[in-house]
Structure 1
Amino acid sequence: MSEAPEADTAHRAFPKAEYEARIAKVRDEMRTRGADVLLVDCVEHMAYLFGYVPPAAIYQPALLPLDGDPVVIVRTLDAPTFTEQSWVEDYVSFGDDEDPVTILAAVVQRRGWASRAIAVEFDSHFLPVGRFRAIESALPNVHFIDFSKVIWEIRLIKSEREIAYLREASRIADAALIASIEAAAPGVSERECAAALYATALREGADNGRSALLAAGKRTDSLHGRLGDHRFEKGDILHVESIPLVRGYGARIMRSTVIGAPEEDLARAADILLAAQQAQFDAMKPGAAARDVDGILRRAVLDSRLRETYTNFTGYTLGYIGLPKTSDFTRAFLPDSSWTLEAGMVFHMYTYAQGLAFSDTILVTPTGAERLTRSDRRLFVR
């Protein structure tokens, strides 16, 4: 088993210096937008800036001023977890019989921020309309500034330590995928394949419970289908997407497996998909236009008539994944994508047609694409 990067303590994902560098970038954007304080409650950004991953059961936000230390509002029950995970020393705890919005407003008042400009991530899943209205009501003199998308954009370029976690997640994804495929055989339930994948992922070091998407038989056109009780028969296809997390950083890989020898048209479809996707990988270099990279695969699939339409992305951002989000579309590959690739970006590149699906985790390096998931790129046969 390969080693994940060392942190300051066994429970902290990164050294304090890395968090400080991230905060410096965020503060630059705060100055540009005229914000004195930033309200952070998006779980991905709580982890990214402060190292704390709060459970979603009760609201636990943080306040980051332009100068001085951040302060985190922490549920008393979660305080031991907070002190293990976070480098932040200044926090205010509250009991379950208290309203966290009231606590938040009191902190803002005590710190002298009640008449200042506070930036808010309006795209946060943890700030629904009702909660924001309650914050507005409690802080009537605050000027709120939209800070949506800003930290998502900052997070696009991964540090060496982040890439190390993604490499480890990719290694686990490969091992779990192969375990699932090797469990498949005529008469075996698709649940046995899922069990093999989950057991392998957890043994190898995955720290998430939801480690796979799996479908079999006639249901393989549904990439996000519900696990069923199908028992394999000759000619069936097994679709496996292995999605483990390490320290919250997720890799993804999809492969298809045929039970028995594949028919000629299915083998042809696999060859077309794999070749087109490899050409797409080869084009993934810094400065490449995302629409051009997308078009390589999309045109090949449509021209070969494997699909009549192609409405989905051909790839999207990978990195830290925090519930309730399960995918990050800050950058996604579409025919009209106007952005360009940069070194340090990581993507899940995927394609599917005719019940077959193939994908890999791809790092953009200064010289081109590096495939972090390394399982054989082929149609597996059992």
Structure 2
Amino acid sequence: MFKISKEEFAARVDKLKTLMKEREMQACLIYGDEYRKENLRYMSNYWPLFERGAVMVTLTGEPFVIAAPEGEMFCREMSAWSDVRLLPEFACVTVPDKIEYPQAHYTSLTEIRQEIQGKEPLLRIGIVGIDAMPEPLMKVIADSFADIEIVDANDLLFKLRMTKTASEVACLQEAARIADEGYKLMIERAKPGMTELELASLAYGECTKQGAENIPFCLLTSGKRVDTIIGRASGKVIEDGDMIMAALAVQVEGYVATVNFPFVAGEMSEEQKAFIDILVEAENQALSKIKAGANQNEVVRTVKGYFKKMNVTEYDLYPPMHGCGLAEAESPYPDENSEAIFAAGMTVNMDVSLFGHPHGSNRIEESLLVTEAGYESMSKLVRHLSKTWKESATISVC
């Protein structure tokens, strides 16, 4: 079973408290909802459904979780922390209506403030997730903590999440394993005459069967529809010779790994082979630049340099690497001028892509663990496809 232990959540809280002391914060509220869940899940394991949530960390004592009535039992089931409070302002994200829950036992932000002040002077409170929080809720918080300095503390969580523990890596590796199985099935079953939705459904079904907690997306386009950076599967019928661009993201215990490798339904043209060859070679060259202590900008420069050599720079639309973890795309997200350095324990996605090329648009994407010696790919499938492509210019999942 892939889990983040209670002890690991406690260690995260201790690290956050250290950062809070450095910033002279007496409390930190970490906000999240169904759509921006990452920081909240990192600190509490709670992942709201329909509603809003938060975890309050103070310098003394255990954190407590803030939820809404409809999801209370769900929160208690998931949360790493046993103390759960309910706030009426945290009810359903998608409606402005006030929803009545006559049996709910509510607290208030004013009561929470008084409780914290009863333990220690409260001069400054940090908030993680200000950018994701609706303005009316932020106003309620500001009013409830009037005369107390409120500061943006997003950077504290980004700093804590930048490198991963062995447990976090294990969750990502399991997500990648499951994604491999779903993606492999799409390659095996893709054929002219089926719709994009039918092909995507194979991945959804297989990944669920394999134990995915969630499938954040299965982007899938074919034929002319690949001339886009992202796209959802549609009712379009796949034709013979259609290039398929499919990116499959799988979530396990909150952690998301992604796989993507170009393939063609039916017969592949020589032009399509040449296009895929550029992507494979660009990624292989970039991978050689990844190891602890190396500058992240070398990955970007290597890909861009190879694309320039192959005269495809006009189809290179964004950087070829980004972080991964509790979000499919998270820091780091380097460009050619980045001064950031790789550290052992970072997890990143190679995301080498070309869009709008006359012979197709596509990307190669796989999740990687940065090590002292280089990297470890979490996707056995992408490594296999890349290796066999270089040997024979064919796509075989066997």
Q: List aligned pairs for 1:14-53, cutoff 5 A.
A: 14-42=4-32, 43-53=37-47
- What residue in structure 1 maps to residue 94 of structure 2? none
Cα contact 2:334–2:340 (8 A) shared by 1: no
Q: Alpha-carbon deviations, 1:3-54, whole Å to 9, x = none?
A: x43xxxxxxx322211111111111110111100111113322211122222
Structure 1 residue 218, shift from structure 2 partner: 0.5
- What residue in structure 2 maps to residue 9 of structure 1? none
Give the match's secondary structure for 2:246.
strand
Which is further off, 149-158 or 166-175?
Answer: 149-158
TM-score (norm 1): 0.89
Of 98, 105, 114 in structure 1, the residue corresponding to residue 110 of structure 2 is 105
1:245 matched to 2:235? The reply is no
1:79 matched to 2:105? The reply is no
Of 181, 194, 205 in structure 1, the residue corresponding to residue 200 of structure 2 is 194
- What residue in structure 2 maps to residue 8 of structure 1? none
Q: Counterparts of 1:147 and 1:358 in 2: how far apart (Å)?
A: 34
1:61 matched to 2:54? The reply is yes
Give the match's secondary structure for 1:329.
coil
Structure 1 residue 64, shift from structure 2 partner: 0.7
The amino acid of 1:97's aligned partner reads: E
1:119 matched to 2:138? The reply is no
Structure 1 residue 100, shift from structure 2 partner: 11
Q: Counterparts of 2:142 and 2:268 in 1: how far apart (Å)?
A: 61
The amino acid of 1:78's aligned partner reads: G
- What residue in structure 1 maps to residue 395 of structure 2? 380
Q: Counterparts of 1:330 and 1:318 in 2: how far apart (Å)?
A: 7
Give the match's secondary structure for 2:77.
helix
Q: List aligned pairs for 1:230-309, cutoff 5 A.
A: 230-309=236-315
- What residue in structure 2 maps to residue 344 of structure 1? 345
Cα contact 1:277–1:351 (8 A) shared by 2: yes
Cα contact 1:101–1:135 (8 A) shared by 2: no
Q: Alpha-carbon deviations, 1:208-232, whole Å to 9, x = none?
A: 1434111111011223113222222
- What residue in structure 2 maps to residue 324 of structure 1? none
Which is further off, 198-207 or 97-106?
Answer: 97-106
Q: Counterparts of 1:287 and 1:279 in 2: how far apart (Å)?
A: 18
Q: Counterparts of 1:319 and 1:44 in 2: how far apart (Å)?
A: 9
Q: Counterparts of 2:223 and 2:148 in 1: how far apart (Å)?
A: 57
The amino acid of 1:370's aligned partner reads: E
Structure 1 residue 285, shift from structure 2 partner: 0.3
Q: List aligned pairs for 1:159-174, cutoff 5 A.
A: 159-174=165-180
Structure 1: gaps (5+ residues): 6-12, 322-326
Give the match's secondary structure for 1:244.
strand
Q: Counterparts of 2:66 and 2:364 in 1: how far apart (Å)?
A: 43
Cα contact 1:73–1:104 (8 A) shared by 2: no
Instruction: Give the direction of change, closer, same or farther, for the CA distance of 1:283–1:183 in structure 2 (3 Å limit).
Output: same
Superposition RMSD on alpha carbons, in Å?
Answer: 2.3
1:151 matched to 2:145? The reply is no
Q: Counterparts of 2:197 and 2:153 in 1: how far apart (Å)?
A: 43
Q: Counterparts of 2:48 and 2:147 in 1: how far apart (Å)?
A: 28
Give the match's secondary structure for 1:266.
helix
Structure 1 residue 75, shift from structure 2 partner: 1.8
The amino acid of 2:295's aligned partner reads: A
Which is further off, 132-141 or 368-377?
Answer: 132-141
Cα contact 1:36–1:116 (8 A) shared by 2: yes
Q: Percent identity?
A: 24
Give the match's secondary structure for 2:168.
helix
1:90 matched to 2:83? The reply is yes
Instruction: Give the direction of change, closer, same or farther, for the CA distance of 1:356–1:40 in structure 2 (3 Å limit).
Output: closer
- What residue in structure 2 maps to residue 181 of structure 1? 187
Structure 1 residue 281, shift from structure 2 partner: 1.1
Cα contact 1:257–1:381 (8 A) shared by 2: no
The amino acid of 1:288's aligned partner reads: A
Cα contact 1:232–1:259 (8 A) shared by 2: yes
Instruction: Give the direction of change, closer, same or farther, for the CA distance of 1:158–1:63 in structure 2 (3 Å limit).
Output: same
Q: Counterparts of 1:122 and 1:76 in 2: how far apart (Å)?
A: 21
Count residues in correspondence: 365
Structure 1 residue 169, shift from structure 2 partner: 0.5
Q: Counterparts of 2:317 and 2:131 in 1: how far apart (Å)?
A: 26
Structure 1 residue 310, shift from structure 2 partner: 2.7
Structure 2: gaps (5+ residues): 89-98
TM-score (norm 2): 0.85
